[in-house]
Amino acid sequence: MIEVKKVVSRGRWTRKLPIQEENLSVTPPLVVGVLSDTHVSTLRSREAVRMTLQLFRRRQVGLILHGGDVGQSSLLTEMAAIAPVVAVRGNADSLELIETLPDQIRIRAGERTILLMHGHHGKTARATALSAAGPDVDVIVFGHSHQPLIEKHDETVLFNPGSPTERRWGPHFGVGLLTVTDDGIEPELVLFDDPAQLAAVDV
């Protein structure tokens, strides 16, 4: 069972955020929605996230992973209305999120293990993720670079969904999906040039 709400008090205010323990278990089969680096701060970024969450609803995701740099904590609450949210802190997150979200989380999905991190503690995000690869980790979900990636390294798949709001130097925005079954974990990238294109993605 995933605990998706915890009251976090800071002086005069109290917020409810989707906070999890650093080790979780989920039961396959399920579809996992994956996003990172939303950096929600503008109307345009909010629209991109809104279209992403509509996609997750259509795909009936049972879990949402956020790889850090959320932008606004309210986004985590919005996502939690769709499915349980597992999120880690990013280097550009607010102090509130940095203090309350973990640096990384391991998720046990049947016989498989997913490691969620942001990827900002090394020379590059890919190098940081690669340093955590090993026979005990099936998929490493990370962000930071805004570069969509699916890359297999021995027994570990490196999976970066990109960013739905800031493609930076890359050609596409991106979000991800993980289909988790008893047989394994299948990663899928959904790349787009305009958030409106997400409405046409088949279920």
Mean pLDDT of 41-58: 89
User: What is the DSSP code (8-state) at residue 99?
Assistant: H
pLDDT reading at 15 higher than 80: no
Domain boundaries, the chain: 19-200
Task: Determine the Cα–Cα distance for residues 53 and 164; give it in Å rounded to an integer.
Answer: 11
- Confidence band, pLDDT 50/70/90 cuts, at residue 18: low
Write out the two tokens for 19.
Answer: 């906070």
* CATH number for region 19-200: 3.60.21.10
Residue 163: alpha-carbon gap to chain centroid: 10
pLDDT reading at 10 higher than 80: no
DSSP H helical segments within 59-151, as ranges? 74-80, 95-100, 125-131
Mean pLDDT of 157-175: 94
* pTM for the full predicted model: 0.89
User: What is the DSSP code (8-state) at residue 200?
Assistant: G
Question: pLDDT tens digits, residue range 72-119?
Answer: 888 999 999 999 999 999 999 989 899 889 999 999 999 999 999 999
Q: Report residue 85: phi and psi, to 5°.
A: -115, 135
158-81-31 Cα angle (round to 5):
35
